[in-house]
Each structure stands twice: as structure tokens, then as C-alpha cells.
Amino acid sequence: MILVTGGAGYIGSHACAALASAGHEILIVDNLSNSRRSVIDELAVLSGVRPLFVEGDIRDSSLMNNLFRKYTVKAVFHFAGLKAVGESVQKPLEYYDNNIRGTLDLLDAMRRASVKTLIFSSSATVYGDPERVPIPESAPRSATNPYGRSKLVIEDILADLYGAEDDWRIARLRYFNPVGAHPSGRIGEAPQGIPNNLMPFIAQVATGQREFLNVYGNDYPTPDGTGVRDYIHVMDLVEGHVAALEYLRNAGGLLTVNLGTGQGYSVLEMIKAFEQASGRSVPYRIAARRPGDIAQCWADSSLARELLDWKATRKLAEMCTDTWRWQKSAAMFNQ
């Protein structure tokens, strides 16, 4: 059985779908602070088997110790955490507590139960403002906000743990920009309030929920002046996790890899691709740069290909079509 922390959330729920397809049994622990219980019902429909679900917090040590006693867990996929950069600046203690203490408590419970295989959600945010693109895993790391710092610290904690106890098998997966949704349209990203990220915002403009998109700056040193990012389909991303689990089983060790496509798209290219996929127009206005934003960021994805025999295969059109299908069903649900 695989324990999935944060398994009701955006990436965690897709990982559950991929794990179920690969024949794994799943136990989800999620405090539903940023997700809905109905996701579990959707996962049951998608995979034909209802995943075990426990509503709870990974910082609740007695709950976690009990779960490890009750179930035979082979590995942990650790998605639970807070992820909004702006909010992390306003609430640093909450972010450090949830992300860092949450991970420490999880590691403690795992060690007590002798469960020593962990797949951790890191982020390309650990590269700060990169000196060059594409970004290899060896690039210098830095943090400009508490969210990013929490990822840096957890990466270091995991390296220290492996340094001290080399029977752990740990993957630190650095995600670039996950977008898209399961092709069924049953699960996807459901941001609360105004979306911070580009793709969910574009999708809400396309449905008419929002009037226009603010394009944060068109004077960056990029081909059309707008920010460039490495958008990766969430299904590709979670398949990368299943490949990482396989790798750890065979090779063990401490694995650190980028999960990206290796290709960057600008904000204007994203708008155009979404308009084509949805058949709707996405009005936009050029606005000031967003503080803390970088000009461009995309992955050197060769290490994942070499070590995991994995690469992202879904193209931008599919990312937009799948987001659109999900957005339409989510909009209907919210009416």
C-alpha cells in the first residue's frame, strides 16, 4: 500500500489515479484544508476501487503512528503542504509549521514504522532566479520567499537524513509548472478564491467567470517580452512519480530530478493555445510585473530521461484541452 499525503489535492489526486492504474493500493491522508472530500468519490469512479481515506493532519503524530501500525505501507508520496507564495510572505510561521514540521513529523512516524521510501514534492522554485536555462539539477539553489525556503530546508533535511541513514530511499522531485487535468474531466485543479497561477486564471477568463487576464509584464528579456515557463501536464508529472518509485525500488539512494518538459512557453503563447483549445477568447491587459517573478524558467529534463526512463509526452494543446474540459465541469458544479 502507498500512503499519499495531500492525496485529495490537485497533484496528489492525479497521483492516486496513476498509482491505481499501476495496480497500487492507496491510503490518503488529507486535512482537506485546500481540497474537497468529493475528490475521493471521483477517484473511486475513475479507478473502480475506493481509496482508503483518512481526514487528518500529518502533524498529528498519534494519528500517523496508528496508521502506520494499522496498514502495511511500502512507500509514502508526500504532497501535503501549503503552496501559495504570496500567502507564505504574510504567514511565514504557518508555512514553516505546516511544510517543515509536517515533514519532520511524517519522517518520524515513518522511521518508527521502518517505512523508508519517500517521494517528496519539491519545486523549481528552489532555483530562485536561474543564471541560465535550461536549468540542470546541479544549478545553485536559493529562496526568495518562505514557501521556497520551506522547500529548500526540506530538501536539505532529506539529504541529511540520507547521509546519516543510508537505508532510506528518497526522491526529491522538482516540479516545473504543473497544469492540465485528468482526461476524464473528473479531477483537476480547484483553486479557492482568485487563482494565483496563470493556467487556472486563463481558464476562468475563458468561461466568463473573470473579465480579463492581467499579463504581468511585457518587458522581460524574452522573445515576446512576457514570462516564459515550463508547463507540464499533471498526468505526465504524476507518471514521473510512479517511475521514481520504480527507480527507488531498484536502485535505492537519494534521487534529485527535475520534472519538466524542457520547453518554455510565454504568457501570450499560453493565451493563444488556450483560445485554440477552447474556442473562446481570452481578453487580456498588460499590467505591471508581479513582484518576485522571474523572466524565464525551463528544465533540463535529461536526467529524468536517463535515470527514470521517463519523459513528458503530452503537448501544450492537450494541457489546454484537458484544463478546459475540467474547467467546464467545475463551472457547472459550482453553479
Residues noted as catalytic: 147
Site for ligand UD1 in 205-234 (CB under 6 A): 213-216, 227, 229
Q: Is 326 helix (H, G, I), strand (E, B) or coil?
A: helix
Residue 121 interacts with ligand UD1 (CB under 6 A): yes or no: no
Q: How far is the CB of 121 from ligand NAD (least distance, A)?
A: 3
Task: Based on the shown chain and the rule CB under 6 A, indicate whether residue 172 belongs to the binding site for ligand NAD.
Answer: no
- C-alpha 174/C-alpha 213 separation (Å) is 28
Residue 305 contact among ligand UD1, ligand NAD, none, beta carbon within 5 to 8 Å by kind: none
CB of 39 to ligand UD1, least distance (A): 19
Return d(Cα 105, Cα 80) in angstroms, integer. 12
Nearest-approach distance from CB 71 to ligand NAD, in angstroms: 16
Residue that the C-alpha cell 496513476 belongs to: 18
One residue of 13, 34, 98, 177 binding ligand UD1 per CB under 6 A: 177
Cell numbers 522571474 label which residue?
294
304 residue type, one letter: A
Phi, psi at 190, each rounded to 5°? -125, 75
User: What's at 77, amino acid-wise?
Assistant: F
Site string for ligand NAD, 111-140 (x = CB under 6 A): ----------x-x-----------------
Nearer to ligand NAD, 65 or 166 (CB): 65
DSSP conformation letters of 8-31: TSHHHHHHHHHHHHTT--EEEEE-
User: With CB cut-offs between 5 and 8 Å by kind, which of ligand UD1, ligand NAD, none does residue 33 bind?
Assistant: ligand NAD
Question: Nearest-CB residue to ligand NAD?
Answer: 9
**Positive or negative: CA dihedral 233, 96, 197, 299:** negative
- Written as one letter, the residue type at 21 is S
Residue 290 interacting with ligand UD1 (CB under 6 A):
yes
Q: How far is the CB of 211 from ligand UD1 (least distance, A)?
A: 13
Q: What share of the chain is helix, strand, coil (3-state, %, to 5)?
A: 45, 20, 40
Contact status: 227 vs ligand NAD (CB under 6 A): no
Distance CA 39, CA 313 (A): 26
Asked if 98 interacts with ligand NAD (CB under 6 A), we say yes
* Residues of this chain that bind ligand UD1 (CB under 6 A): 85, 123-125, 148, 177, 196-198, 201, 213-216, 227, 229, 267, 290, 292-293
